[in-house]
């Protein structure tokens, strides 16, 4: 059977020493779905990933996974070397922003600009430009999940082939993620944060906004549904905040599997996507839209490709006060929530997963490395 190697920094949960399970993030979800497309084509996918918890070789959800030990300092060189340890055609599924050597004829994926931070030093941003230029020079094609990467490349890099970058937004299974108004409790407003407990996903502004929301609106519950990296400073801060909060009884935290997530969206009245940087066409945003849940999103990265402010969601700066006011508006105006949810569902249908799978299959069929394999 033909094989394809997908190189990534994360798939199995090497963060918490649990390589027997898939880590619950958007990148991992994307790779799981892409492996499904490959298997439908009769191709055996193997995933090679960085690991901060030692070497491993396992199978997760029927996918062969190799963990390559590294440290933060050695991660770029280890990532580069993973391609040398497989004889299969390679898809570089992350690390586009690092200067590495790519195997000729390979594909790359950009899951969102991760360097879109106003406070990032200019010297680091210049290094990213050189790294992305190297990827453009060496890779056969780069698939981007949003329009911001192609705009970045056109404005900072030099390349002649306009087909070099393929914009293919993320997708949602609109049959699984569907509205169910009966799942919501009358008299209660459930505010959902369906993200990892991490800095870039906006957990800090969400916590600050939640303070105000819980104080001002006694009919609200704020639910955090997402993975945490145990022992990380941001996770420690979150759990301490939750434990000692004066409204602790109205704060919930759960970690749900991919299969359990649809119910979380159906129960929620408002979903908040408060990313502060490094965001593509967010799965969480798409799933909330598809579920008919009113969305408040930060105007960061690929979220700007999904939300039209005031039409299918509220698009605001990733500032705690602004987020709290937007959520408060949705709490005070149930008619607005319903209208945003209805239009969100209509929007999601354009991003149905069937279309995404069909587009990826076409990309893979045209990929010369796979055709030769």
pLDDT of 135-171, one tens digit each? Answer: 999 999 999 999 999 999 999 999 999 999 999 999 9
Q: Which residues, in sequence order, are CB contacts of 54 under 8 Å at separation 6+? A: 67, 69
Radius of gyration of the chain (CA): 21
The single residue listed with the structure tokens 């570089």 is 92
Domain membership of residue 95 as a residue range: 2-171+353-372
Taking residues 184-200, what's their average pLDDT?
95
Q: Which residues, in sequence order, are CB contacts of 318 under 8 Å at separation 6+? A: 202, 205, 274, 275, 276, 298, 299, 300
- Is residue 167 in some structural domain? yes
- Is residue 88 in some structural domain? yes
Residue 368 has pLDDT above 80, yes or no: no
- pTM check: above 0.85: yes
Residues 188 and 277 in one domain: yes
State the DSSP H helix or E strand holding residue 190, giving kind and residue range, or none if neither.
strand 189-193
Taking residues 327-334, what's their average pLDDT?
98
Residues in the chain: 373
DSSP 278-330: ---S-HHHHHHHHTT-EEEEES-TTHHHH--BTTTBEEE-S-HHHHHHHHHHH
CA distance 96 to 335: 43
Residues 130 and 202 in one domain: no
Tell me the sheet residues that pair with 45: 4
C-alpha 332: how far from chain center: 30
- Is residue 301 in some structural domain? yes
> Which pLDDT value is given to residue 370?
65
- Is residue 21 in some structural domain? yes
Residues 55 and 137 in one domain: yes
Residue 371 has pLDDT above 70, yes or no: no
Q: Which residue has the higher pLDDT, 365 or 371?
A: 365
Q: Which of 63, 111, 31, 108 is nearest to 277 (CA)?
A: 111
- Is residue 53 in some structural domain? yes
Residues 103 and 225 in one domain: no
CA distance 308 to 40: 35
> Which pLDDT value is given to residue 33?
96
Count of domains for the chain: 2
> Which pLDDT value is given to residue 372?
41
Residues 198 and 330 in one domain: yes
- Is residue 55 in some structural domain? yes
Tell me the sheet residues that pair with 172: 352
Residues 206 and 155 in one domain: no
Residues 361 and 341 in one domain: no
The single residue listed with the structure tokens 């299974």 is 173
- Is residue 176 in some structural domain? no
Rounded percentage of the chain residues whose pLDDT exceeds 90: 90
- Is residue 105 in some structural domain? yes
| 46 within 8 A of 89, measured Cβ to Cβ | no
pLDDT band of residue 225 (cuts 50, 70, 90) is very high
For the chain, give the mean pLDDT: 95
Q: Which of 120, 248, 106 is nearest to 239 (CA)?
A: 248
> Which pLDDT value is given to residue 67?
95
Question: CB atoms < 10 A from the CB of 366, how many?
Answer: 13
CATH number of the domain enclosing 324: 3.40.50.2000
Query: Which two structure tokens, joined as six digits, stand for 345?
Result: 């569902």
Q: Which of 115, 83, 78 is nearest to 96 (CA)?
A: 115
| 60 within 8 A of 19, measured Cβ to Cβ | yes
CA distance 125 to 88: 33
Residue 373 has pLDDT above 50, yes or no: no
Residues 123 and 186 in one domain: no
Residues 207 and 94 in one domain: no
Residues 37 and 155 in one domain: yes
Q: Cα angle vertex 199, ends 326, 268, to 5°?
A: 40
Residues 146 and 208 in one domain: no
> Which pLDDT value is given to residue 16?
83
Residues 42 and 30 in one domain: yes
């Amino acid at each position: 059977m033909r094989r394809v190697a997908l190189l990534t920094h994360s798939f199995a949960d090497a963060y918490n020493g649990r390589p027997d399970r898939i880590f619950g993030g958007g990148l991992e979800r994307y790779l799981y779905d892409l492996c499904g497309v490959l298997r439908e084509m009769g191709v055996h996918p193997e995933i090679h990933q960085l690991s901060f918890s030692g070497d491993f070789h396992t199978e997760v959800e029927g996918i062969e996974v190799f963990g390559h030990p590294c440290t933060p300092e050695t991660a770029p060189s280890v990532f580069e070397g993973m391609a040398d340890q497989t004889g299969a055609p390679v898809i570089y599924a992350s690390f586009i922003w690092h200067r590495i050597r790519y195997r000729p004829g390979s594909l790359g994926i950009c899951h969102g600009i991760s360097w879109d931070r106003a406070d990032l030093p200019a010297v680091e941003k210049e290094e990213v430009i050189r790294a992305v230029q190297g990827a453009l020079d060496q890779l056969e094609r780069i698939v981007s999940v949003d329009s911001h990467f192609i705009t970045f490349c056109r404005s900072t890099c030099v390349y002649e082939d306009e087909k070099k970058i393929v914009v293919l937004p993320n997708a949602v299974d609109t049959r699984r993620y569907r509205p169910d108004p009966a799942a919501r409790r009358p008299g209660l407003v459930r505010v959902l944060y369906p993200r990892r407990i991490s800095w870039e996903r906006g957990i800090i502004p969400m916590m600050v906004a939640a303070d105000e929301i819980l104080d001002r609106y006694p009919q609200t519950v704020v639910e955090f549904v997402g993975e945490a990296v145990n022992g990380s400073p941001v996770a420690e801060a979150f759990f301490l905040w939750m434990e000692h909060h004066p409204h602790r009884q109205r704060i919930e935290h759960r970690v749900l599997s991919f299969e359990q997530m649809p119910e979380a969206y159906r129960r929620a009245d408002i979903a908040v996507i408060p990313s502060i940087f490094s965001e593509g066409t967010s799965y969480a945003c798409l799933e909330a839209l598809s579920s008919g849940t009113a969305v408040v999103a930060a105007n960061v990265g690929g979220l700007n490709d999904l939300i039209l402010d005031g039409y299918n969601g509220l698009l605001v700066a990733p500032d705690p006060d602004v987020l709290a006011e937007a959520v408060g508006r949705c709490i005070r105006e149930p008619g607005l929530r319903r209208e945003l949810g209805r239009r969100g569902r209509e929007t999601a249908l354009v991003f149905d997963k069937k279309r995404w799978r069909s587009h990826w299959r076409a990309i893979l069929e045209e990929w010369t490395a796979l055709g030769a394999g």
